[in-house]
Amino acid sequence: MQNLLHNLNEEQLAAVTLPAQSALILAGAGSGKTRVLTTRIAWLIQTGQVSPAGILAVTFTNKAAKEMLARLSAMMPINTRGMWIGTFHGLCNRLLRAHHRDAGLPQTFQILDSQDQLSAIKRLLKQMNVDDEKYPPRNLMYFINSAKDQGLRAKDVEAHDDYNRKFVELYELYDHQCQREGVVDFAELLLRSYELLSRNQPLREHYQQRFKHILVDEFQDTNDLQYKWLKLMSGQGQINAGAVFAVGDDDQSIYAFRGANVGNMQAFEHEFRVQNMIKLEQNYRSHGHILDAANILIANNSKRLGKNLRTDAGHGEQVRVFEASSDLQEAQWIIEQVKNLIAEGWSRSEIALLYRSNAQSRVLEHALFSSAIPYRVYGGQRFFERAEIKHAIAYLQLMDNLHNDSAFLRVVNFPTRGIGAKALEQLQDAARQQGCSLYAAVPYVAGKAGSSLNAFIKLIEGARFETQHLPLQEMVKVVLDASSLITHYQSEKEGADRIENLEQLVSAATLFVSEEGYGLDTPAFLGPQAQAVAGTSITTADGVEIMDADAPLAAVMSPLSAFLSHASLEAGDNQAQVGQDALQLMTVHSAKGLEFDAVFITGLEEGLFPHENSAKEEGGVEEERRLMYVAITRARKRLYMSFSQTRMLHGQTRYNLRSRFFDELPDEAIKWLSPKIAQQAGWFAHPKAAWDEAPESGNNKIAQNFSRPDSGWRIGQNVAHAKFGEGVIVNIEGGGGSTRAHINFGKFGMKLLDLSVAKLEKL
């Protein structure tokens, strides 16, 4: 026991050893929350308060779940394979697999990732002859997912007008389509699981009795339905309710656009009658000046639960801030700083360039490429999202569930086998008339189209027959060969990488089988009878027999079904995966949960960071400030910030005001940098510009150019107006007493002012 607890600080120890009551752990960035969570689980098990099977732990990413299981295995000699530790989607998938009949799902139901969901919606709109310009598929997808995240079916959504009413109608049709095909999207996993527990009292009571200790990571990122699901699973409000150990940081809630509700933390404190709220404020990541900047910035947000990060690592270096004249100069400055860091011995993989919008990466990538600095960009396609992998997975999905129309349409004519748009139109008409899947409708299509479609069906059924006794990795090999995918990409000029990825799919299948507890020789496809035997069941106090999901997925799913679920869930995981010795480029959202020795936060301008959309949304600026807080706290040793007077975005030049966040940072933690000026004007265009520290700290301005000698004003100059506030001069016309200036006043927009009349203050 002593070994388990000996490295915890006072706050961490208090959290780990709390009594069996619901508690809220306010865990600041870099405060060791993962360690607290895993040690709490180990302590509960080691002290005999709960068995491993009685723990339910919810993580935000698959990566975090794997890390927690690995740490637990290292802490104590227990088999973690059957433990309920995973994401909301992963755990709900597991629950629905064990109780698919009660949930109204086929045993081999499949999960649509976001790409597949969008394809299914496009197909629905086409079948219903709906104008996809008036009702964009992506908008409909957001509408459906948002409704599900709130726990609302189509019948529960209020339609305020005809346009909204059409979305509701399409939502209902989409649900029918998914049910007919035996597929569920991510949001459906949670909603279907919640509905199952809500209406099935014996099942609900079984899991409430079983999971007396529920631990939740990243609680600030839960949405409304996830919070309801937790309340239901814990038996909140009942006499013998389970203890919920919620760990989160309201200052790092940055996913409102995905439905996250930071208010859940305060609701939890009230509704669960939390008596224990512990703040983890000791930071083990960043130096003092970095934490001072983060603390003072976030203090500007209202309705915080409140905490203040501290460190024993000393003040460290000040935060370096650079003002550039253009995004090109900003990129050049970053290149010079990166080169200096590398020359000092810093690892490239420990240097991160963060930006608010993906559109910013183009200029940075060009500068890095030109300087021959290896880099890696996040936000690109993950392995299971790549086109060639999606094609191979679709073949496997169709073998597992012949009625998956999305999978059918993806591969029926890929590689090309003479099945054109007209043949597919005939097939879809037949399926609509018969009320069946595309696969089942093939016999109703005559002529040449019917012959071609029948040949495809024989291909799939032949592969099913050939692989029925083969292990998963061998099945994948057969499918790659039978589908002609390898042959197809061999004929492509740049197909070598795609073939390599397809071969990697075999390795991924082998690894998955061994990690999930299947034997390497276990047949990939188990028929329903074999799967039923593999499952487990329990009898409730009322004598009701129900399936139990106590065992790992290997007990309730075939290797093929489990692997397909894994592929979909991995494709939906949003966190970046760090690797290879290259500079790391990513959005701030992607950087959540990561840390680096040196961090550059770029593009700190009004309208970009904070984003212009934030001004239109309630609480939008506070969310942007939390995002800035996340960006700052990614840095361990050195932090750079930069902004630019002009920036080319979406084909247009923008004239910028610096971000308001600079006014919220402590002067003593900031070091302003300026370019070494070789001549009075035009310094920013010099390709070999060198960078010096500014002679003074504070909010000094460094634009020295673009002035008109006869006016005393210059382009790029920051000014203040009594009515419009701060602005930046973006153009000057005329001269003498008739000089006029175009000034960008941020939220007040562009104004043309007569400089002889307007009372402007130079900043």
Which tokens is 376 given?
Answer: 């890696």
Pairing of strands 23-27, 545-548: unpaired
Which tokens is 574 given?
Answer: 């949003």
Q: Rounded distance, CA 672 to CA 619, Å?
A: 30
- In the residue annotation, 34 being an active-site residue is answered as yes
* CB-based contact 277:11 (threshold 8 Å): no
For the chain, how long is the longest CA-to-CA vector?
95
* Secondary structure (DSSP) of 169-192: HHHHHHHHHHHHHTEEEHHHHHHH
Q: Rounded distance, CA 45 to CA 39, Å?
A: 10
Q: Rounded distance, CA 321 to CA 325, Å?
A: 14
Q: Which one is catalytic: 61, 107, 226, 252?
A: 252
* Secondary structure (DSSP) of 266-294: HHHHHHTT--EEEEE-B-SSS-HHHHHHH
Residue 564: name the closest of 409, 393, 390 by CA: 393
Q: Which one is catalytic: 192, 210, 634, 636?
A: 634
Q: Rounded distance, CA 61 to CA 249, Å?
A: 16
* CB-based contact 681:673 (threshold 8 Å): no
For the chain, count helices (H), then strands (E): 27, 24
Query: How far are the Cα atoms of 101, 294, 418, 519, 610 from residue 614, in angstroms, in the given order?
Result: 44, 20, 50, 52, 7
Scanning 468-552, the segments in alpha helix (DSSP H) are 472-482, 485-490, 496-515, 528-534
Q: Rounded distance, CA 525 to CA 529, Å?
A: 12
* CB-based contact 121:140 (threshold 8 Å): yes
- In the residue annotation, 97 being an active-site residue is answered as no
* Secondary structure (DSSP) of 285-345: SS-HHHHHHHHHHHTTSSS------B-SS---SPEEEEEEEEHHHHHHHHHHHHHHHHHTT
**Phi/psi class of residue 159: alpha, beta or left (left: φ > 0; alpha: ψ in -120 to 50)?**
beta
- In the residue annotation, 652 being an active-site residue is answered as no
Phi, psi of 535 (to 5 degrees): -75, 170
Q: Rounded distance, CA 667 to CA 102, Å?
A: 61
**Phi/psi class of residue 214: alpha, beta or left (left: φ > 0; alpha: ψ in -120 to 50)?**
beta
Which tokens is 375 given?
Answer: 């880099």
Q: Which one is catalytic: 17, 21, 34, 179?
A: 34
For CA atoms 93, 95, 99, 104, the dihedral sign is negative
Q: Look-up: residue for tokens 């070091």?
A: 671
Q: Which one is catalytic: 188, 218, 570, 726?
A: 218
One-letter amino acid at 78 equals I
Pairing of strands 718-721, 23-27: unpaired
Q: Rounded distance, CA 461 to CA 106, Å?
A: 20
Q: Which one is catalytic: 12, 33, 181, 388?
A: 33
For CA atoms 478, 479, 484, 488, the dihedral sign is negative
* CB-based contact 44:76 (threshold 8 Å): no
Q: Which one is catalytic: 113, 188, 217, 281?
A: 217
Active site residues: 33-34, 217-218, 252, 634
